[in-house]
Structure 1
């Protein structure tokens, strides 16, 4: 119990009574305090004592009373000008009592999501009718539902826990209907939105003295409303950003598909899209597309995104899109899936004509993901094709479907909207691990997409003397493609990035000794290093460096560089 509440009990001769009959003590203090001019400060004592009673008995009615007393303490009525000083220690404590009181009062005992519905709730001194405007639950055309309280959640597995302190119950809400779009581009279907719920009373200090109260639940999201008007003051709302992201991770459980996504090349072919955003696109925000590596998933970027979104300039001017793919598939095949996903997304959003910021895309690829990114910013002509065939594509015996697939995969063109690429731990000249016999054995377990299998068989069976594949179509998989001896990786490493595209390298090195001999355990420095980049940063880290603070700081620096180089019309939005 706070000193201020102890003083209230002592001065009113109620300390002994509190120890023997808390409920009667609260009732007596209420009779002496509420509705009495000049005694509004003692509402804090009522709030704290009611919260103790709620904890002692698990009483949702007492928790709700605590929240209402705290709100009346914090918010002067229409006829009162006095308001507690934010420097008063009771002010912050009252905010906590209000927030946690709401969490305990509206959170069902069985831990199901909070129901945002009109309701009548009992109180130790009466009842309150709670209204809800259902229109406020609409978010970008979807109804928000499944509100999970986050104030009392413990989050582990993420390096940094971010919370915007303020007033109200922080929650994580789920848009009904799943994806914002069913084709090409969507907001992640299991993404939880950081949400805030306030129980608001008009003229609360007058109402708290009555037995029948009227209130309303006000729901806001971190993307739309960061603060609220409380009396004569603008008060920030409390949000648990990291907790909401953690709930999304637990519910989506995408990391469980990391190895199945490597072995089953057909895993994502039934998915409505492979490219998802963590929030709807807003005009003026530049896309940052994150591409994971082998036997991995988009959730490996969580720490980086969690940190970057706390940088106001990045949060206001960039948005993050995540690409999922079957990482055991041939690299050129995964690259055309990435290309198609980006083109569909841009078309769906209206393209550069609708928003110039869509023409300033940054690709960030980790490990194999960096090779996919490179395939979108090169103009190889027939260099890639000549590595596997002795004759032009047009002269080989192929079905139209297979010929089209080979043309798309091995004769790529730069995507004009991509202006910057960040390679992280990328095996530009192959990975020595990919050359191990055990790795090749694992590679043989990969099930390739039907289109790839059919095209490769046609190449080998109908044109065997003219292609350089041997008799094993399995050599098309990503494991073989990343071997230092692979014709594909040798050809790709020799092809420069198209002019006008800014290139940055982040290279982890976990070993000591000369840098030229360094390695992250998967990729050697000599493989990841390429000449002619805008910048190169070597960080002391293992291969999975996406959560390394130095790596995240470098990505932040590069994105701010992108923002500084953007036209004023883009940099000024939104």
Structure 2
């Protein structure tokens, strides 16, 4: 070996010895992909099934290996709990994640045995609570940190799982109502519940199901609207089967039977040490429509909410699609009277939007429009939605009278004095035949309808007096009190020739009218011939034109006497109205166009505050363009109301915005002198 080679060997040997003696690790560098970057920052036990990078770092500080904590989570918890020298934020966040891992690894117990997962969920929530509210920095100081987002997720998920586990543990058929405040013991924990922030629909005493909103996935709903924040989003189901129209109840209304709730776990302690020793948890339940934020440890935090899950679940289980078709044909398992479904518990401080669907349809027709309104923060704070479900086989005159009565009776039930904001300035939204009904509810009939109908049916004075006593309200009406604005969607105000289509006329021939309606109206008109009102016709007098009780399809025909007489009824003074019209073929001149069912000239209304023509078929209410237009109108309406109320109640100090007091009751407006709509399927799968 040459001297040069010996020198090189001695040089590299010396470097190797020096590296060994120094104890330094060798550092390497490599590039990472965008997905690896995000996974490193955001990945954790909930998203990837493995502990987060933050937890891994903390465990390494404690001399623990993250890979070993998967099967030995409790051992890692014990070491980290008793180890000092690790900053509180890192320790508490990692313990919350380890307890979450422990809960997910524990087996599900058999029925009747105390669930060990509950303790792990409560431990997760407590350590996350400690991280959020008992460390040196406040949540606002960590607002942009990924770790805080992860820990809040651990808390919310643990609250969700613990709440549903406790619900199943205490599920009972006991008819006794749930106490507004209660106390129980489970798994060594003292659990104090407060239900004063909610009211279950229809006065129900306890839900039949409690379903995590995050476990539901919907088809038929374009968007899921949530509010990020504190707490678990749950759906409380109080009715476990297909819904009826409410014919068997004493009220013309019911609340949506699957409201969304938000549950929060609180731990009362002055110091972090006290928090980590407590075995008491306080469970508060809130209505997220009424509560946007809560105070925790003197900090105002947003309350989490899901505004779509309960609505989607209700529609998916409703059975509306089948029932509405059976009702149209007058078959069994249909219904005979309009019913109002309230999308949330009645709120006196929110204005009411009344939605009226079209022929052969149901509340399913409004799935995306209603969801978009409830998902809009401004509109949600100012409006509540009532959906009218009505039998679409009945004549328009009959439906308008009974829908009017149902709305007014519902208002009177909740607001007998008519002083609440909810009783003022209602907005009606009607699609197709529902739009025609909305116009009748906001118009004045005068005497023309009654006199024309009596003349058409050649009644003698005695028969006219009998029918007038029973059914005059069907043909004599004024604008319904409290209506401020109406939005018409593809509404055939002057009828449609589609009603003369051979297939449609065949369908019309299959329609049966309810016997009680036939007896009420037709029974008064049995003449000398002894005609049978139950058949839908009766000879008023021998030799005169027989009385015919029209179906809804008859009423939509361009030549129907009722449509001809109501086409130009005056809409009430002060009521603003808008038209949204579909145009199927944009190459056709507007005046000659249609949406496939309703011609433009029938949908057009003189005097509308706005008119929007959208390239669409008849189901225009489902289009994004129509929904955006309706939201624009409603936002403008809210702004107009703010300005109107500000003028009515001016602030004493111009520099200070006035608090808006309740709207005074508005006097009743004085009287002046569709075709089939397919509903989208809505499915929910757990």
Aligned to 2:82, which of 31, 45, 53? Answer: 31
Task: Give me the whole-angstrom Cα distance separating, in 2, the residues matched to 1:17 and 1:308.
Answer: 49
* Alpha-carbon distance, 1:290 to partner: 0.9
Task: Give me the whole-angstrom Cα distance separating, in 1, the residues matched to 2:169 and 2:370.
Answer: 28
Do residues 542 (structure 1) and 617 (structure 2) align? yes
Task: Give me the whole-angstrom Cα distance separating, in 1, the residues matched to 2:145 and 2:459.
Answer: 80
| Structure 1 pair 176–159 and aligned structure 2 pair: CA distance change class (3 A) | closer
Q: Which stretch has the larger CA shift, 284-293 or 457-466?
A: 457-466
Mark the runs of 5 or more structure 1 residues left unpaired by the alignment.
none
Residue 463 of structure 1 aligns to a residue whose secondary structure is coil
8 A Cα contact 1:187 1:280, kept in partner: no
Q: What do residues 180-226 of structure 1 show as CA deviations (whole Å, max 9, x unaligned)?
A: x96555442x432221112211227324543x612121111113322
Matching of residues 518-533 of structure 1 within 5 Å: 518-533=593-608
Task: Give me the whole-angstrom Cα distance separating, in 1, the residues matched to 2:197 and 2:612.
Answer: 46
Do residues 62 (structure 1) and 120 (structure 2) align? yes
Do residues 377 (structure 1) and 434 (structure 2) align? no
Do residues 224 (structure 1) and 290 (structure 2) align? yes
Task: Give me the whole-angstrom Cα distance separating, in 2, the residues matched to 1:277 and 1:345.
Answer: 10
Matching of residues 393-472 of structure 1 within 5 Å: 395-398=460-463, 402-454=467-519, 455-456=521-522, 458=525, 460-463=538-541, 467=545, 471=546
Matching of residues 87-98 of structure 1 within 5 Å: 87-98=144-155
Do residues 285 (structure 1) and 350 (structure 2) align? yes
8 A Cα contact 1:268 1:325, kept in partner: no
Q: What do residues 228-278 of structure 1 show as CA deviations (whole Å, max 9, x unaligned)?
A: 22224221121111112112223433333221221228977676x622322
| Structure 1 pair 307–517 and aligned structure 2 pair: CA distance change class (3 A) | same
| Structure 1 pair 389–113 and aligned structure 2 pair: CA distance change class (3 A) | farther
Q: What do residues 33-87 of structure 1 show as CA deviations (whole Å, max 9, x unaligned)?
A: 5xx784343111111122223333446243333222222211218xx67667222
Task: Give me the whole-angstrom Cα distance separating, in 2, the residues matched to 1:163 and 1:114.
Answer: 28
| Structure 1 pair 137–507 and aligned structure 2 pair: CA distance change class (3 A) | closer
Q: What do residues 336-373 of structure 1 show as CA deviations (whole Å, max 9, x unaligned)?
A: 11121123233334466523652422221111111112
8 A Cα contact 1:201 1:216, kept in partner: yes
* Alpha-carbon distance, 1:305 to partner: 1.6
* Alpha-carbon distance, 1:427 to partner: 0.8
* Alpha-carbon distance, 1:161 to partner: 0.6
Partner of 2:53: 3
| Structure 1 pair 100–508 and aligned structure 2 pair: CA distance change class (3 A) | same
Partner of 1:131: 192
* Alpha-carbon distance, 1:158 to partner: 0.9
8 A Cα contact 2:369 2:621, kept in partner: yes
Do residues 205 (structure 1) and 266 (structure 2) align? no
Aligned to 1:156, which of 205, 214, 219? Answer: 219
Residue 444 of structure 1 aligns to a residue whose secondary structure is helix
Task: Give me the whole-angstrom Cα distance separating, in 2, the residues matched to 1:224 and 1:292.
Answer: 27
Task: Give me the whole-angstrom Cα distance separating, in 2, the residues matched to 1:89 and 1:322.
Answer: 42
* Alpha-carbon distance, 1:418 to partner: 2.2
Partner of 2:529: none
Partner of 2:63: 13
Partner of 1:260: 326
Task: Give me the whole-angstrom Cα distance separating, in 2, the residues matched to 1:375 and 1:496.
Answer: 9
Q: Which stretch has the larger CA shift, 496-505 or 216-225?
A: 496-505
Do residues 167 (structure 1) and 230 (structure 2) align? yes
Q: How many pairs does the alignment contain?
A: 558
| Structure 1 pair 230–412 and aligned structure 2 pair: CA distance change class (3 A) | closer
Task: Give me the whole-angstrom Cα distance separating, in 2, the residues matched to 1:317 and 1:197.
Answer: 24
Aligned to 1:506, which of 566, 580, 584? Answer: 580
Task: Give me the whole-angstrom Cα distance separating, in 2, the residues matched to 1:56 and 1:243.
Answer: 28
Aligned to 1:493, which of 567, 572, 584? Answer: 567
Q: Which stretch has the larger CA shift, 157-166 or 416-425?
A: 416-425
* Alpha-carbon distance, 1:114 to partner: 7.5
Do residues 191 (structure 1) and 257 (structure 2) align? yes
Q: What do residues 445-504 of structure 1 show as CA deviations (whole Å, max 9, x unaligned)?
A: 22213354243472741236555xxx5836x00111111122222222233324332221
8 A Cα contact 1:187 1:278, kept in partner: no
